[in-house]
Amino acid sequence: MKIEIIGSGDIRQTFESKPNENILYSGLQHGIGLPYECATGTCGSCKAKRISGQIEWLWDEAPARKILKSEDDFLMCQCSASSDLQLEVRSKLKENKDPRCVPDWLGAVVIDSRLVAQDVKTLSVRLSKSIDFLPGQFMVLEFEGVAGGRAWSMTNHAETSNILHFVIKKKPNGDLSKFLFAHDDLSGLKAKAFGPIGKATYLSNLEKELICIAGGTGIAGMMSILEEYIRGGAHLKNRATVYFGVRTSQDLFFANEFSKLVDQSKGSLEVVVAFSDEKPSTEIIEAYPALKFDQGFIHEVAEREIVGCDHANSRAYIAGPPPLVDGALRMLLLKARLPASEILYDKFG
Residue 171 pLDDT greater than 90, yes or no:
no
Taking 80 as the threshold, does the pLDDT of residue 95 lie above it?
no
pLDDT digit string, tens, across residues 118-167? 999 999 999 999 999 999 999 999 998 787 789 999 999 988 899 999 99
pLDDT band at 93 (very low <50, low <70, confident <90, very high): confident
Residue 203 lies in a domain: no
> Residue 179: pLDDT above 90?
no
Q: Does the pLDDT value for residue 77 go beyond 80?
A: yes
d(CA 77, CA 2): 17
Query: What is the domain range of residue 59?
Result: 2-94
Cα 228–229–234 angle (5° rounding)? Answer: 130
pLDDT tens digits along 309-335: 888 899 999 999 889 999 999 999 999
Over the chain, what is the mean pLDDT? Answer: 93
Residues 179-194 have a mean pLDDT of 92
Residue 253: give its domain's CATH number.
Answer: 3.40.50.80
- Do 148 and 235 lie in one domain? The reply is no
What pTM, to 2 d.p., does this model score? 0.93
Same domain, 16 and 114: no
- Report which secondary-structure segment, H or E, holds 165: strand 161-169
The pLDDT confidence band at residue 102, using thresholds 50, 70 and 90, is: confident
Pairing status of strand 85-88 against strand 150-153: unpaired
DSSP structure class, residue 29: H
- Same domain membership, residue 61 and residue 16: yes
Q: Is residue 330 part of a domain?
A: yes
Give me the phi and psi of 263, to 5 degrees please: -65, -45
> Does residue 98 surpass a pLDDT of 70?
no
For 142, residues 6+ apart whose C-beta sits below 8 A from its C-beta are 148, 149, 150, 191, 192, 193, 194
**Band of residue 183 on the pLDDT scale cut at 50, 70, 90:** confident
Weakest-pLDDT range from 85-94, 174-183, 282-291: 174-183
CB atoms within 10 A of CB 105: 16
At position 121, the amino acid (one-letter code) is K
| pLDDT at residue 96, as a whole number | 67
In this predicted structure, the answer to whether residue 97 has a pLDDT above a threshold of 70 is no
- CATH number of the structural domain spanning residue 103: 2.40.30.10
Question: Which tens digit of pLDDT belongs to each residue from 268-318?
Answer: 999 999 999 999 999 999 999 999 999 999 999 999 999 988 888 999 999
Phi, then psi, of 111 in degrees rounded to 5: -115, -15
Is the pLDDT assigned to residue 262 strictly greater than 70?
Answer: yes
State the pLDDT confidence band at 349, using cuts at 50, 70 and 90: low
Of 100, 108, 95, whose CA–CA distance to 27 is shortest? Answer: 95
Asked whether the predicted pLDDT for residue 172 surpasses 90, the reply is no
Assigned domain for 179 exists = yes
What total number of domains does the chain contain?
Answer: 3
Residues near 172 by Cβ (< 8 Å), separated by ≥ 6?
none
Cβ-in-10-Å burial (0-12, 13-18, 19+) of 202 comes to buried
Same domain, 66 and 11: yes
Whole-number pLDDT of residue 238: 96
Final residue belonging to a domain, choices 79, 94, 109? 94
**pLDDT tens across 220-257, in order?**
999 999 999 999 999 999 999 999 999 999 999 999 99
- Residue that is last in its domain, among 197, 229, 246: 197
Computed on alpha carbons and rounded to an integer, the radius of gyration of the chain in Å comes to 20
Are the C-beta atoms of 326 and 221 separated by less than 8 Å? no
Q: Is the pLDDT of residue 100 over 70?
A: no
Q: DSSP code of 171? A: P
The mean per-residue pLDDT over the stretch 27-54 comes to: 93
164 CB contacts (<8 Å, ≥6 apart)? 108, 124, 125, 127, 139, 154, 156, 193
Q: How confident is the model at residue 9 (pLDDT cuts 50, 70, 90)?
A: confident
